Amino acid sequence: MIAVAVVDAETSGNVGTIARAMKNFGLRDLYLVDPPDLDPEGEAYGFAGSAREDVLPNATETTFDALVEEFHTVATTATTNEDARKHVRYPFETPAELAESLSAVETDTCIVFGRERVGLTNEELAQVDEVVSIPASADYPVLNLGQAATIVLYELRDLTVEETQHPDAIERADESDIDGLHDQFATLLERINHPDGKRAKTRRLFRRLLGRAHPTPRETRTLRGVLRRASQFAEPPTDGDEER
């Protein structure tokens, strides 16, 4: 189970934004440490979208120490140490690396987000089990709290979302239909009198292109129809045609 905690948020709107991101990516357990006022008529519920119906009203108020005792904790921070001489913010993982490491274990984990201006203190970071940081421009690496939460939770989606609106893989056309497409392309090359010496190379180029594209059944049918009509309208070669 993966939960989310927000520590000492200054604005209720960010709490609502994080609740919304949680619902987007299949998380429901929200913990709040020293939260701002979450007025049902205020920004938190206004920014939460449909998470106002379950995630936000069911949030649990707790303490930082209780989070550390109950969960495997992962803190988020924008500022990191550059090497191993300091251990408060090092080593750290990217959100994608965190997702990979968490996929290998089964433990109740809490992703902990800190304050808008200063994040988590060194004392708080020293108590957590892991640290995660979002790679960003060195000129301005600090993200808005809601943005940071959305990015981290997005990377964890394979662990938290059973089914999305996107298919796992495209439906590639049958090989027989794709082979028919290649045959029709060869026919078109002949109909337009493409130079004999270049036809094999051109057909190979077309095959490599389709091999990377993995056309769907509909795309393949459409392309076959286009090539068929193009071949019908192409002037047949005559003995007087010159290769170009």
Residue 81 forms part of a structural domain:
yes
* Cβ-contact 23, 50 below 8 angstroms: yes
What span, in angstroms and rounded, lies between the C-alpha atoms of 76 and 85? 20
Q: State whether 70 and 32 are in the same domain.
A: yes
- Long-range pairs, 219-224, Cβ under 8 A, ≥24: 219/173, 220/173, 220/177, 220/178, 220/181, 221/177, 223/181, 224/177, 224/180, 224/181, 224/184
* Phi, psi dihedral angles at 25 (to 5 degrees): -115, 25
Residue 133 forms part of a structural domain:
yes
Residue 167 forms part of a structural domain:
no
Strand ranges across the sheet with 2-7? 60-62, 30-33, 2-7, 109-113, 72-76, 130-132
Q: State whether 78 and 144 are in the same domain.
A: yes
* pLDDT, tens digit, 9 for 90 and up, residues 89-119: 555 789 999 898 888 878 899 999 988 888 8
Q: State whether 207 and 145 are in the same domain.
A: no
* pLDDT, tens digit, 9 for 90 and up, residues 13-27: 999 999 999 999 999
Structural domain boundaries enclosing 155: 2-160
**Percent of the chain clearing pLDDT 90 (strictly above):** 51
Where is the domain boundary, 132, 160, 188? 160
Q: State whether 123 and 18 are in the same domain.
A: yes
Q: State whether 66 and 105 are in the same domain.
A: yes
Neighbours of 31 (CB within 10 A): 22
**Residues contacting 162, CB < 8 A, separation 6+:** 26
Where is the domain boundary, 126, 160, 194? 160
Residue 240 forms part of a structural domain:
no
How many structural domains compose the chain? 2
Question: In the prediction, which pLDDT does 117 show?
Answer: 83
Q: State whether 66 and 187 are in the same domain.
A: no
Q: State whether 79 and 54 are in the same domain.
A: yes
Residue 220 forms part of a structural domain:
yes
pLDDT at 241 over 90: no
Quote the Cα angle for 85-90-95, to 5°: 160
Q: What is the pTM of this model?
A: 0.70
Q: State whether 52 and 127 are in the same domain.
A: yes
Q: State whether 18 and 88 are in the same domain.
A: yes
Q: State whether 102 and 195 are in the same domain.
A: no
Where is the domain boundary, 160, 190, 209? 160
Question: In the prediction, which pLDDT does 166 show?
Answer: 61
- In terms of Cα–Cα distance, which of 177, 193, 175, 192 is closest to 225? 177
* pLDDT, tens digit, 9 for 90 and up, residues 155-196: 999 888 876 666 666 788 999 999 999 999 999 999 999 999
Question: In the prediction, which pLDDT does 105 show?
Answer: 78
Query: Which residue type does 169 have?
Result: A
- The domain that holds 42 is classified in CATH as 3.40.1280.10
Ramachandran category for residue 35: left, alpha or beta (phi over 0 → left; psi -120 to 50 → alpha): beta
Question: In the prediction, which pLDDT does 182 show?
Answer: 95
Residue 69 forms part of a structural domain:
yes
Residue 96 forms part of a structural domain:
yes
Q: State whether 180 and 81 are in the same domain.
A: no
What span, in angstroms and rounded, lies between the C-alpha atoms of 218 and 14? 44
Residue 85 forms part of a structural domain:
yes
Q: State whether 71 and 188 are in the same domain.
A: no
163 or 58: which leads in pLDDT:
58
What span, in angstroms and rounded, lies between the C-alpha atoms of 192 and 189? 5
